[in-house]
Amino acid sequence: MNQRLAVLVSAALMALAPMLSVSLARAQGYPERTVRIIVSLPPGGTGDVAGRIVAQALQTRMGQSFVVENRAGAGGLIGVEVAAKAPGDGYTLVVSSPAGFTIIPALKPKVPYDPLKDFTHITMLVRNPLVFAVVPSLPVNNMTEFVAYAKARPGQVYYGSSGVGSVLHLSVEMVREKTGVDIVHVPYKGGIPVILALLSGQIQMGVGGPVDMPKRAASGQLRMIGQTTAKRHPLIPDVPTLAESGLGDVAVTGWFGLSAPAGLPQGIAARLHRETIATISDSAMRQRLVSLGCDAAPMSSEEFTKFIADEAMLWSKTFKSRGFNIEE
């Protein structure tokens, strides 16, 4: 019986050998042409900047062009759908983010892709705080004062986010749900349009990533009044956290990862993971990311896939338990 089993195992290994050889050869030769990285956000935001930094580093490490392609719209669904329908050959990647991979799929009964089945998730890239900022004319210095100001003017204060269902939108929705404050949401197609709307006075408060907010605040064009992480980020040490403003259970963190369409050959997936982890684990790269308000967050493919599944489940439970209805 043991001899028969040994023969069967040997035969199976011999049958697999050609496929393993092909996979290894593909991985060793990859990439042989330009790789595009889809960013489902407009240029200039945290996810776009992180994607471009990683693309540049991968291009240097792997000796082939990695080109970022911005496909913004529909809260991130457009770019993610384009990636989902691309061949799983390693020549199309996508910067994965909360809106397109965990939030909107949890909100909407039907999206044109499955965040788990239609993708191979390579690794998380970065995590970052979300920043609340107001126009300088608003007489508030933190979220407590902002809530009091807005409560005295129900329906008269407008805030902007990068779109309905974005993590930026939901961070304010959680504040609204907890405090009962009546403020009006104005959705935009990315973080930079939110800042421009603030600068032009179209809205009084906006929420965004930490890439551009500190620069505008330093020049006096904006005033940062809150950040969503448990501890103050070293890039913005003078900005109070939501917990310090009495909103301790409102904690939303931005994150961005690297994913590929399903069917990615194992050898190519392994190489992409190895090179990407080496990129974001480099000490100089980590410091560069910190200077942009991001923290490197390398994960194994399995860990990142589980993270996406768990976060999608968490958002789904949150929406149901709190009765969120943010369709606009």
Which position has the higher pLDDT, 100 or 44? Answer: 100
Lowest-confidence segment of 36-45, 81-90, 298-307, 311-320 by average pLDDT: 311-320
The sheet with strand 158-161 has its strands ordered as 184-187, 158-161, 205-208, 131-134, 223-227
Residue 300, SS3? Answer: coil
Residue range 149-167: mean pLDDT, rounded: 91
Question: What average pLDDT does the structure give for the chain?
Answer: 88
Domain residue ranges in the chain: 31-127+254-322, 131-245
Q: What is the pLDDT of residue 20?
A: 43
Q: What is the pLDDT of residue 138?
A: 96
Token output for 246: 């009495």
Which position has the higher pLDDT, 27 or 16? Answer: 27
Residue 140's alpha-carbon distances to 129, 147, 216, 249, in angstroms, are: 20, 9, 17, 22
Question: CATH classification of 31-127+254-322, choosing from 2.60.40.1930, 3.30.56.10, 3.40.190.150, 3.40.50.620?
Answer: 3.40.190.150
Cis amide prior to 210 (ω within 30 degrees): no
Q: What is the pLDDT of residue 291?
A: 86
Lowest-confidence segment of 56-60, 65-69, 168-172 by average pLDDT: 168-172
Separation CA 293–CA 229 (nearest Å): 11
Q: What is the pLDDT of residue 324?
A: 62
Separation CA 147–CA 179 (nearest Å): 8
Residue 223, SS3? Answer: strand
Residue 129, SS3? Answer: coil
Whether the predicted pLDDT of 242 surpasses 80: yes
Residue range 166-192: mean pLDDT, rounded: 88
Where residue 13 falls among pLDDT bands split at 50, 70, 90? low
The CATH superfamily assigned to 131-245 is: Periplasmic binding protein-like II (3.40.190.10)
Lowest-confidence segment of 24-38, 134-148, 234-248, 281-295 by average pLDDT: 24-38
Q: What is the pLDDT of residue 27?
A: 66
Residue range 204-228: mean pLDDT, rounded: 89
Q: What is the pLDDT of residue 233?
A: 87
Residue range 165-192: mean pLDDT, rounded: 87
Contact 160, 206 (CB under 8 A): yes
Whether the predicted pLDDT of 14 surpasses 70: no
Which position has the higher pLDDT, 12 or 311? Answer: 311
